[in-house]
Amino acid sequence: MIINKTNEKAFEEAIEHVLISNGGYIKGNSAFFDRALALDSTTLFKFIKDTQKNMWDSLVAIHGADIEKKFLYRLNQELDARGMLDCLRHGIIDYGKKFDLVYFKPVSKLNPETQERYDKNILTVTSQVHYSLKDESSIDMLLSVNGLPAATIELKNPFTGQNVDNARKQYKYDRDERDLLFQFKKRALVHFAVDTDEIYMTTHLRGSKTKYLPFNRGFNKGAGNPANPDGHKTAYLWEEILSKDSWMDILGRFMHLETKEISIEGKKIKKETMLFPRYHQLDVVRKLGLDALKNRVGKNYLIQHSAGSGKSNSIAWLAYRLTGLHDKDDKRIFDSVIVITDRLVLDQQLQDTIYQFEHKFGVVEKIDKDANQLAKALVTGTNIIITTLQKFPFVLDKIGDMSKRNYAVIIDEAHSSQNLWMRKMISRMKFAIQWKKEGLSQI
């Protein structure tokens, strides 16, 4: 869709129109936004009563006429303690009653009810939301899922003399991170600064210390975005990334609260970082997933990733994406995904990144003992196996004996010094992906 008007209001309305007409959203009502709770309880209760009526009725028997007030009190407690992302993914419990706040799209079609529930999610796009208890400050656009804020957007149109840099400054200096909507992890999870040419995003507003990452596609092996013959350079944001299936996929399977323990003056402090994938990370994971779904086993790939652009996170997201692939008969395409690093001591960042993404027993196993441990993990079908290049040859023959099993092998950093050995090993695999720290991400 071509946006040819020159003011910010027209820019805002055009984006809203695309999200509502083609993106799976409905128009939100700014009057429904509760500034004290920083959410839309009207839409939230509509979703819960429609999808979990029996559970809601049982809670009515406990709370009576005060049920909505008490439910919101409990929800606010959980959001404050656990954060929005965790509550979206795992729901909340009130008086022993478990409530889901969102339904994510299932990876298979084994249970048709999960698809029906997913279809009942209510995605809203709301313009000019007044969020502050102190004044009438407003955010240009708010994206919510079942009434719960997920993303804010500040828009600038260069035709008015302002650009994405002004949007970033607006977040830094005009948005108070103490306002509940902007409090780290408690409400909106990501904040986009957008103009017609470029996009930046942050997951943590900290005034002048706020750090942004580009959310641009890249152009000619560099920064920025390519020309778009059908509209603005940044149209991919509202036409693709924020469309329902894509956005719910990001919230359900990409966003991640990374926790690290750091030492400051002898004291151990927990540091939390909300990870939101950059465009090139989404692009490579989704393209590889689609290609594997189409061609299944039998192909090898080389991914080039520039230093500092999130290679470990990309590998982790890809590993989980491949474990969830199912064919048209709802059978898993890969029995296990094996992630190989070339270091004698497992790359700590890589293994921690993958391991933090999923804590369930049997989903991820770090091979830090011997080849027997690796062989056992292969036989038992552990979803994701992390091992070193040095251990892998000892069980390569065992993989060959498992004719009824399919494996995806992700190799971290394919160095020229090991190319001959690597080529021999890859030639014996059914599906392998190599990552090399050079250039831009590509397939």
> Mean pLDDT over residues 27-52, rounded?
98
Q: Same domain for 336 and 418?
A: yes
- Is position 1 within any domain? no
Q: Let me know if residue 257 belongs to a domain.
A: no
Three-state DSSP string of 268-307 = EEEEEEEECCCHHHHHHHHHHHHHHHHHCCCEEEEEECCC
Q: What is the pLDDT of residue 311?
A: 85
Range with the poorest average pLDDT among 115-119, 218-222, 302-306, 428-432: 428-432
What are the residue ranges of helices labelled H in 40-110?
Answer: 41-51, 53-63, 67-82, 84-90
**Ranges 104-108, 121-125, 303-307: which has the least confidence:** 303-307
Domain boundary among 227, 245, 263: 245
439 contacts: CB under 8 Å, gap ≥ 6 = 221, 304, 306
Q: What confidence score (pLDDT) does residue 287 get?
A: 95
C-alpha 375: how far from chain center = 32
Element (H, E) at 159: none
Q: Could you tell me if residue 91 is inside a domain?
A: yes
Residue 102 lies in a domain: yes
Conformation bin of residue 299: beta by default, left when phi > 0, alpha when psi is -120 to 50? beta
Given pLDDT bands bounded at 50, 70 and 90, which one contains residue 375?
confident
Q: Are residues 294 and 226 in the same domain?
A: no
Structural domain ending residue among the three candidates 201, 219, 245: 245
DSSP 188: -
Give exposure, 140-170, as e/b (b: 16+ Cβ within 10 Å): bbbbbbbbbbbbbbbbbbbeeebbbeebbeb
Confidence bin at 160 (pLDDT 50/70/90): confident
Q: Are 375 and 231 in a shared domain?
A: no
Same domain for 306 and 406? yes
Q: What is the pLDDT of residues 168-186, one digit of tens each?
A: 999 999 999 999 999 999 9
Cα distance between residue 238 and residue 157, in whole Å: 15
Q: Which of 170, 185, 180 is nearest to 140 (CA)?
A: 170
Residues 206 and 147 in one domain: yes
Judge whether 269 lies within some domain. no
Within this chain, do residues 95 and 241 fall inside the same structural domain, yes or no?
yes
237 and 302: one domain? no
- Indicate whether 285 and 221 sit together in one domain: no
Give the mean model confidence (pLDDT) for residues 417-430.
55
Instruction: List pLDDT tens digits, range 119-158.
Output: 999 999 999 999 999 999 999 999 999 999 999 999 999 8
Instruction: State the average pLDDT over residues 8-25.
Output: 95
Structural domain containing residue 342? 279-436
Is 157 contained in some domain?
Answer: yes
* % of the chain at pLDDT higher than 90: 59
Mean per-residue pLDDT for 375-382? Answer: 81
Q: Judge if 212 and 356 occupy the same domain.
A: no
404 DSSP 8-state letter: T
431-436/97-99 β-pairing: unpaired
Q: Determine how β-strand 190-194 pairs with β-strand 199-202.
A: antiparallel
Q: How far is CA 335 from CA 285, 314, 362, in A?
A: 18, 20, 13
Question: Does 73 or 437 have the greater pLDDT score?
Answer: 73
Q: What mean pLDDT is reported for the chain?
A: 87
**Same domain? 70 vs 218:** yes
The CA distance from 120 to 392, in Å, is: 45
What is the value of pTM for the model shown?
A: 0.90
Do 14 and 161 lie in one domain? The reply is yes
- Lowest mean pLDDT, pick from 63-77, 92-106, 232-246, 306-320: 306-320
| Total number of domains constituting the chain | 2
Percent of the chain residues past pLDDT 70, beyond the cut: 85
pLDDT number for residue 360 = 55
**pLDDT given for residue 73 in this prediction:** 97
Question: What is the average pLDDT across 92-113?
Answer: 90
Q: What is the CATH number of the domain that holds 342?
A: 3.40.50.300
256 located within any domain: no
Please give the average per-residue pLDDT across 292-316, as a whole number. Answer: 84
Residue 104 pLDDT exceeds 90: yes
* Residue at which a domain ends, from 222, 245, 268: 245
The yes-or-no verdict on residue 230 having pLDDT over 50 is yes
Report if residue 266 sits inside a domain: no
Confidence of residue 424 (pLDDT cuts 50, 70, 90): low
pLDDT computed for residue 309 by the predictor: 78
Same domain (yes/no): 283, 212: no
From 307, 308, 367, select the one nearest 340 (Cα to Cα). 367
